[in-house]
């Protein structure tokens, strides 16, 4: 039975503050078909029959285990070694959560410390935390840090940044500062428009590399432009790509964010994922969440401590830098195990394989009549293709043949209504790509 601690009077007060008379009125914008929570099951089923019925319902879902998928756009189908599942499912990890009595949780603190260390090495940055939900919240928190650090009131965001990340940034900041979007040109950020937008009130510029279209941006140019104006340079990146691309620290980024899902987390219908956040040492007291450090105990043994806690639930209260309320420890642990298993050479090999297979698929699809490149730019493992036939029709045809196609871009970029974003990772083979081409030729 559900336990709801709020009294009827408290609920009435909350609804009055919101401006509605009842809970039903609060959710009336949600279609009635989506408010139904009951599963329509026949009566009088045994436990065995019920499981069989539920299993048959679950098989109506299409997933990347059953169908090869060419969807990317922030959630990626990568190979996860079996050791990641085995080690992260051990009881001492699964039961560990936020270290409220921090120093009593030495094992948990060590995993967070080692994760921070791995992220700093991967990103080429000084400090990292372990407390964010996904790349979108990490980008928004980076923008908040820039505002606090510079005391400026404008954030510039490249339109080549993942549109879902841009939406979250706007939700966080829309009543605090002005948010300016710089449009793209041929799949990358328009440098001339960025220069025109930057001024003395700009707190930061946020850009993604590889960007949402998979294209590689010229990061050294952005660094020079931003720092000349006194604005922070915030980069969102793909951690798998860092096996072959320069890390943000090497081109003097101030803050680096990323989606950690690629590092050993399954797609899982969209979550839970992992927000990666790293920065320069000067920002250590301003980053959200918590930072674990290494120390010695009274006997001189290596020990770990919760060095900084900038969240509101601890001593910072109203002076907190963020209201992030978890450290995503289990997801961070999976990422740590993943990068430890692969190592530097393994990440490099994985990155190179992504490049090889995606470019192979790109060249093959362009051999088919009716398809053309949307942009002529270097890319990592995602690329945009325009088609004479509707992307939605192509996607439906692929599904009928047991293939999950790319992402039609019309929803996010109306000017790219004829285009689809395709992603090819190391999980695909040349045979998989050959089958994809067969269906595209028929379409």
**What single string gives the DSSP state of each residue in 353-365?**
HHHHHHHHHHHHH
In this model, does residue 143 exceed pLDDT 60?
A: yes
**Residue 2 has what pLDDT?**
62
Give the chain's length: 443
Given pLDDT bands bounded at 50, 70 and 90, which one contains residue 101? low
Given pLDDT bands bounded at 50, 70 and 90, which one contains residue 120? very high
The DSSP symbol for 403 reads -
In this model, does residue 388 exceed pLDDT 90?
A: yes
The proportion of the chain whose per-residue pLDDT surpasses 70, expressed as a percent, equals 95
In this model, does residue 100 exceed pLDDT 70?
A: no
The Cα–Cα gap between 70 and 77 comes to 8
**Residue 316 has what pLDDT?**
59
pLDDT higher at 43 or 83: 83
Tokens, residue 24: 């039903």
**Residue 443 has what pLDDT?**
87
Question: From residue 422, how far is each of 177, 299, 373, 378 by CA, in Å?
Answer: 34, 56, 11, 14
**Residue 308 has what pLDDT?**
82
Q: Which range, of 4-8, 76-80, 175-179, averages the lowest pLDDT?
A: 4-8
Average of per-residue pLDDT across 89-114: 82
Q: Which range, of 174-178, 382-386, 422-426, averages the lowest pLDDT?
A: 174-178
Average of per-residue pLDDT across 177-190: 96
Average of per-residue pLDDT across 163-170: 97
Specify the CATH class of 343-442 in words.
Answer: alpha beta
**Residue 1 has what pLDDT?**
41
What is the phi/psi pair of residue 420, to 5°?
A: -130, 140
Given pLDDT bands bounded at 50, 70 and 90, which one contains residue 6? confident
In this model, does residue 121 exceed pLDDT 50?
A: yes
Q: Which range, of 212-226, 273-287, 301-315, 403-417, averages the lowest pLDDT?
A: 301-315
135: enclosing H helix or E strand: helix 135-150
**Residue 199 has what pLDDT?**
96
The pLDDT mean for the chain works out to 92
User: Is residue 378 within 8 Å of residue 216, measured between CB atoms?
Assistant: yes
pLDDT higher at 324 or 369: 369
Buried-state track 64-83, b at ≥16 Cβ within 10 A, e below 16: eeeebbbbbbbbbbbebeee
Q: Strands across the sheet with 382-387, in order?
A: 371-373, 382-387, 419-423, 407-408
In this model, does residue 368 exceed pLDDT 80?
A: yes
User: Structure pTM?
Assistant: 0.88
In this model, does residue 290 exceed pLDDT 90?
A: no
In this model, does residue 313 exceed pLDDT 60?
A: no
**Residue 314 has what pLDDT?**
57
Domains of the chain by residue range: 82-338, 343-442
Buried-state track 284-308, b at ≥16 Cβ within 10 A, e below 16: eebbbbbbbeeeeeeeeeebbbbeb
Report the CATH number of the 82-338 domain. 3.40.640.10
User: Is residue 420 within 8 Å of residue 385, measured between CB atoms?
Assistant: yes
């Amino acid at each position: 039975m559900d336990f709801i601690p709020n009294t009827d009077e408290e609920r009435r007060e909350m609804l009055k503050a919101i401006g509605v008379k009842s809970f039903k009125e609060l959710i009336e914008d949600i279609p009635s078909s989506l408010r139904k929570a009951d599963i329509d099951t026949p009566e009088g089923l045994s436990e065995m029959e019920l499981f069989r019925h539920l299993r048959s319902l679950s098989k109506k879902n299409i997933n990347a285990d059953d169908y090869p998928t060419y969807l990317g756009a922030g959630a990626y189908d990568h190979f996860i070694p079996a050791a990641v599942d085995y080690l992260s499912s051990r009881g001492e990890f699964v039961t560990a959560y936020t270290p409220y009595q921090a120093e009593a949780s030495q094992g948990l603190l060590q995993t967070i410390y080692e994760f921070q260390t791995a992220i700093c090495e991967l990103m080429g940055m000084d400090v990292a935390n372990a407390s964010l939900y996904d790349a979108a919240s990490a980008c928004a928190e980076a923008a908040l840090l820039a505002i606090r650090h510079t005391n400026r009131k404008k954030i510039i965001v490249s339109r080549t940044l993942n549109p879902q990340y841009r939406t979250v940034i706007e939700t966080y900041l829309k009543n605090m500062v002005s948010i300016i979007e710089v449009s793209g040109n041929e799949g990358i950020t328009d440098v001339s428009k960025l220069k025109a937008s930057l001024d003395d009130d700009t707190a930061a510029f946020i850009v993604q590399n590889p960007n949402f279209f998979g294209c590689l941006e010229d990061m050294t140019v952005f660094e020079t432009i931003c720092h000349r104006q006194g604005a922070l340079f915030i980069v969102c990146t793909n951690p798998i790509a860092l096996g072959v691309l320069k890390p943000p620290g090497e081109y003097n980024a101030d803050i680096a964010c990323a989606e950690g899902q690629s590092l050993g987390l399954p797609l899982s219908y969209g979550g839970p994922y992992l927000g990666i956040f790293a920065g320069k040492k000067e920002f250590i007291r301003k980053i959200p969440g918590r930072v674990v450090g290494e120390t010695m105990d009274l006997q001189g043994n290596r020990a770990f401590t919760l060095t900084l806690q900038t969240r509101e639930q601890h001593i910072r209260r109203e002076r907190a830098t963020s209201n992030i309320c978890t450290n995503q420890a289990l997801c961070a642990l999976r990422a740590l195990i993943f990068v430890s298993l692969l190592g530097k050479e393994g990440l490099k090999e994985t990155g190179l394989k992504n490049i090889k297979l995606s470019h192979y698929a790109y060249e093959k699809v362009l051999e088919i009549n009716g398809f053309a490149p949307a942009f002529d730019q270097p890319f990592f493992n995602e690329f945009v293709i325009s088609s004479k036939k509707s992307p939605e029709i192509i996607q439906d045809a692929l599904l009928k043949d047991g293939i999950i196609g790319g992402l039609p871009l019309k929803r996010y970029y109306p000017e790219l209504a004829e285009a689809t974003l395709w992603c090819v990772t190391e999980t695909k083979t040349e045979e998989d790509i050959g089958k994809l081409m067969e269906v595209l030729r028929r379409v």
